[in-house]
Amino acid sequence: MPVFTYTIRDQTGQPRTGTQESVSAAAVAEALRKQGLLVLTVEASDDPNAGGDIPYDPRLLLRVRSVDVELALRQIAVMLRSGLTLLVALKTAADNADRPRLRQILLSISKRIEDGSSFADAMAEHPVFNRLVIQLVRVGEATGFLESVLVRSAEALERRRMLRSQVLSAAGYPAVTFVGAIGVAVFMVVKVVPQLAEFLKVMGRDLPPSTQVLVDLANWFKMNGVLTGALTIAALVGCVLVYLMPRGRLACDTLLLRLPVIGKIVRVAGTALFARAFAVLIGSGVTVLEALRTVEDVVRNRMLNEIIVSAQQRVFGGGGLAEALARQHGFMPLLSHMVAVGEAAGTLDEILNEVALFYETQLAWQIKRLTALMEPTIIVVVGGVVGYVYISFFLALYSIAGYR
C-alpha cells in the first residue's frame, strides 16, 4: 500500500509531520480531518524504505561519529528554538543525517517518544549518546530548557572530541614517520642488500664490513623471522588481554600517568575534560553527586576514574570535593585548589570553566612542545638507521665499481 507524508497543525496550532499508509492522498487527508486536525499538505512519500522492508545498506556498517551526534543535537536545538515540536525536530534531523545508522537511531527515538517514553530514556537505549548527554537532556526535560542543554551537550562533545584529536595527533605524526622510515630500511635489508651481496659473491668480491652486518641481520631474520613474528604477536595479544582486565587496565593507566612527558599530557587532558564536563553538569542544575557519577563515564583513564569514585564516596559521606580530588599523579594540582575556592564562593561551575579553559590552553602548548621535541629526535634516530642502510648499500656499489 502506498505511503504518504503529511503536514498538519494540531489543536494547539503546532505543526506536525508524519507518514501514513492509505489508498490515496485524499483518503489520508479525510482521515486526518476527522481527527480535528488542519491538513496542510499530503504527498506521496519519496522514501523507498517507508512502509516496507528496509533493504540492506552497506553504509549501516559505518559507525556514528561524535561530530555526527554534535550536528544532530545542534539541529534539534535550532528547530526547538524555532517553535517546532520535538518529534518534528527529530524526524527532520533524521532526514538530514549523513549516516544511515544515525538516521535509524533518531527515528527510533522519535518512535519511543510517541509510545510515551521520555527523550532521555529513549536516548539511553543507544550507546552513541554518552551518559553526559543523557543526563543533560534529562535535566533539560525536567526544567523546560531542553534547547539550551542540547547546545551545551553539543559543545561538551565538541570539546571532548578536540581534546582527543589533539592527543592523538601528538602521537600520530611521529608514529607514522617512524614506521614509514623503518619500513623502507627493513625492505632494503631484507630484499635489496641480500641480492646485491649475492651479486658480489658471484663476482668474487668481499662485502664491506657495514654491508656484511646487514646481510647477517637479513639472514637472521630469514631463519628466525617466523618465530620472532609469532612471539611478537603473542606478546601483543597478551598485552591486550591484560589491558582488557580491570586490574590490568588500572595498572596500565596508572603507569601511563607516571610517564615523564606523555603522562603529563594525559593528566592535563583528563583534568580539562573533567573540569569542562563537570562545569556543564553543575551549571545545568545537576547535583554534585550525580555530576560525579556522570563524569565517571566520560573520563576514560581508570586511575582518574578511581579518584572520581573516591570523590563520590567522600561527598556522599558529607566531605568536601576538593580534598578527594587532590591525589598525587592524578588530576593536576590546580584543580583541587580551584574547586576549594569554588565550593567556598558558591561559584563552582564558573571556576571549573576557568580551569577547563586554562588546561585546554596548556594541553595545546604541551602537545606543540612535545612535537617540537620529538621531531629532532625522530630525525636523528630514523636518519641514523636509514642512513646506515643506505651507506652500506652504496659502499657495496662502490665495491663493484672498484672491481671493474
Q: What is the DSSP string of 7-59?
A: EEE-TTS-EEEEEEE-S-HHHHHHHHHHTT-EEEEEEE---TTTTSPPPP-GG
98 occurs within a structural domain: no
User: What cell does 75 get?
Assistant: 539541529
d(CA 239, CA 331): 26
pTM of the model: 0.64
Q: Which residues contact 399 (CB under 8 A, 6 or more apart)?
A: 200, 205, 206, 207, 208
What is the phi/psi pair of residue 267, to 5°?
-65, -40
d(CA 177, CA 315): 47
Region of 173 please: left (phi>0), alpha (psi -120 to 50) or beta.
alpha
Q: Are 33 and 180 members of one domain?
A: no
Task: Write the CATH number for 217.
Answer: 1.20.81.30
Structurally, the chain folds into a number of domains equal to 2
d(CA 375, CA 239): 28
pLDDT tens readout for residues 113-154: 888 888 888 888 888 888 888 888 888 887 778 888 888 888
Q: Which of 58-67, 237-246, 298-307 has the lowest mean pLDDT?
A: 58-67
Q: Are 179 and 34 members of one domain?
A: no
97 occurs within a structural domain: no
Provide the H-helix boundaries in 285-347: 288-298, 302-316, 321-325, 333-345
pLDDT tens readout for residues 257-300: 888 878 888 888 889 888 888 888 888 788 888 888 888 877 88
| Residue 162 buriedness (CB in 10 A; 0-12 / 13-18 / 19+) | middle
| Residue 116 buriedness (CB in 10 A; 0-12 / 13-18 / 19+) | exposed
**Torsion sign across C-alpha atoms 356, 361, 364, 369:** negative
**Chain centroid to CA 217:** 41
The residue written with cell numbers 603529563 in the block is 264
Q: How confident is the model at residue 233 (pLDDT cuts 50, 70, 90)?
A: very high
Q: Are 40 and 183 members of one domain?
A: no
Structural domain boundaries enclosing 47: 1-52
User: What cell does 31 get?
Assistant: 482521515
24 occurs within a structural domain: yes
86 occurs within a structural domain: no
Domain boundary among 52, 77, 92: 52
The residue written with cell numbers 543533560 in the block is 136
Average pLDDT for 89-111: 87
363 occurs within a structural domain: yes
394 occurs within a structural domain: yes
154 occurs within a structural domain: no
151 occurs within a structural domain: no
